[in-house]
Amino acid sequence: MIRVQVVDDHALVREGIALILGAQPDLDVVARYGSGPELLASTVAADVVLLDLYLPGMDGLEVLRRLPPTAPRVLMLTTVGRPREIREALNAGAAGFVLKDSSGDELAAAVR
pLDDT at 52: 97
CATH assignment at residue 74? 3.40.50.2300
Residue 62 has pLDDT above 90, yes or no: yes
Q: What integer best gives the mean pLDDT of the chain? A: 95
pLDDT at 81: 76
6 — pLDDT class (breaks 50, 70, 90):
very high
The gap from C-alpha 10 to its chain's centroid, in whole angstroms, comes to 13
Residue 2 has pLDDT above 80, yes or no: yes
pLDDT at 53: 95
67 — pLDDT class (breaks 50, 70, 90):
very high
SS3 state of residue 34: coil
| Total number of domains constituting the chain | 1
Beta pairing, strands 73-78 & 27-33: unpaired
33 — pLDDT class (breaks 50, 70, 90):
very high
Q: How far apart are CA 70 and CA 45, in angstroms?
A: 11
Query: 80 lies in which domain range?
Result: 2-111
